[in-house]
Amino acid sequence: MDKIDLSEVCQNYRARVIRVTPLDDYYLLETNRGPKELHVWPRVDVMRWSFAWRERLARQGFREVERFIRTRESKPYVLVGKQGVTMTDHLRKVDSYPSTVYTSYQCGRVVAMMHQSQQESNLLAGIDYLQQEQMKAETEWTRAKALVESFRSKYRREKGEKRWVAGLMDPLLQRMERSTIMLGSDSIAADSVGVSHRDLFRDNWGLVSGKLHLRGFFRPALSVQQRDVASYLRDVYLRNQDLQQVDSFLDGYEEVKPLSYGDYTLLLAFMARPREIWKSVESYVKRVAVNEDVPITGIEQALLSQQSIDTLLRHIADRAERPRSEGIHEPL
């Protein structure tokens, strides 16, 4: 938790603070105007960007989002040195929202509205974050190739589990290569790439008094909007294995913000990255290298998850191809 002078910060607001409780990533304030949250932002530009999209989203008609409370001088935040501080209402009772086709449709619409709001800002450039994702994918692929070569050179004559792990490596590298190539596809229009949060999950939603609320994003890691959607759909599908909810989310999203062929290409590029398998294989190889007794259960679990993700990938790739009629594209 960042150390700041809370008493000085709180004097900027009309609320009288009764008690302060430091939590993992914010300060919980009991005030004469109800419970509040005080958040410290290490990056002021991200804080300003976050304020702007929340206000635009509310103006679009979705007000169930945590908005920044104004100071006595009507400012939406307080600057403390090189950091920013915001105050929001604290929601005491937040219920889990039901995982249904209808709520997926609602979520899709709201996320599209949020992305539209974020894309209207010129504070952050989407192409910069896409290039970061491309560089990261290239770096991971290069590291994976080196790790595979090292493992094979040392254990090429082994049998049993090590041989089984070695058999996974070519498909792993092929998936990483494909994801990297798709991230740099010519179908992606640079001027259409917007900035959003790197990962959107079901935890960012909740029910408050029966209404769907969008929550969090106070210390966001940023990326492009298609990664936001990819993370959410991965999360949803791995939980319930329901492709209807996936389609319902995308239907709601495209009703507000249609997805281009390039958008689908990016979406699939992020989904195609074999994250769980790569992490589990990398961990296994590193521990084997120092003669640790390593179980393969983590890799087996990652493979099961990947089977589900493959089903999701095929479904979304089919959806991307079906309505497209403008010319011939390389199959996703």
**Tally of domains within the chain:** 2
Residue 330 lies in a domain: no
180 and 108 in a common domain: yes
Is 17:10 a contact under the CB 8 Å cutoff?
yes
- The pLDDT score that the predictor gives to residue 199 is 86
Same domain as 116, residue 212 = yes
Give the pLDDT confidence of 269-278 residue by residue, as tens digits. 999 999 999 9
- Asked whether residue 122 falls in the same domain as residue 234, the answer is yes
CATH number of the domain within which 49 lies:
3.30.200.20
CB 148 within 8 A of CB 169: yes
What is the amino acid identity at position 192? S
- pLDDT tens, residue by residue, 192-229: 899 999 889 888 999 998 899 999 999 889 999 999 99
- 325 pLDDT more than 50: no
How far, CA to CA in Å, does 279 sit from each of 241, 298, 304?
23, 9, 14
Note whether residue 305 is domain-resident.
Answer: yes
Q: What is the pLDDT of residue 318?
A: 94
Give me the pLDDT at residue 327, please: 41
Q: Domain span at residue 33?
A: 6-89
Give the pLDDT confidence score for residue 294 in this predicted structure. 78
pLDDT reading at 238 higher than 70: yes
Residue 294 inside a domain? The answer is yes
Same domain, 21 and 58: yes
pTM: 0.90
In whole angstroms, what is the distance from residue 287 CA to residue 291 CA?
A: 7
Q: Residue 140's Cα: distance from chain center in Å?
A: 19
Tokens at residue 131, please?
């290039």
Last residue of a domain, one of 89, 111, 140: 89
Rounded (5°) CA angle 14-24-69: 25
Same domain, yes or no: 69 and 117: no
Are residue 121 and residue 37 in the same domain, yes or no? no
Three-state DSSP at 75 gives coil
Chain centroid offset of residue 185 CA: 21
The pLDDT-based confidence of 2 (bands split at 50, 70, 90) is: low
Residue 278: phi, psi to the nearest 5?
A: -60, -45
How high is the mean pLDDT of the chain? 91
Residue 327, domain member (yes or no): no
Please give the pLDDT value at position 1. Answer: 53
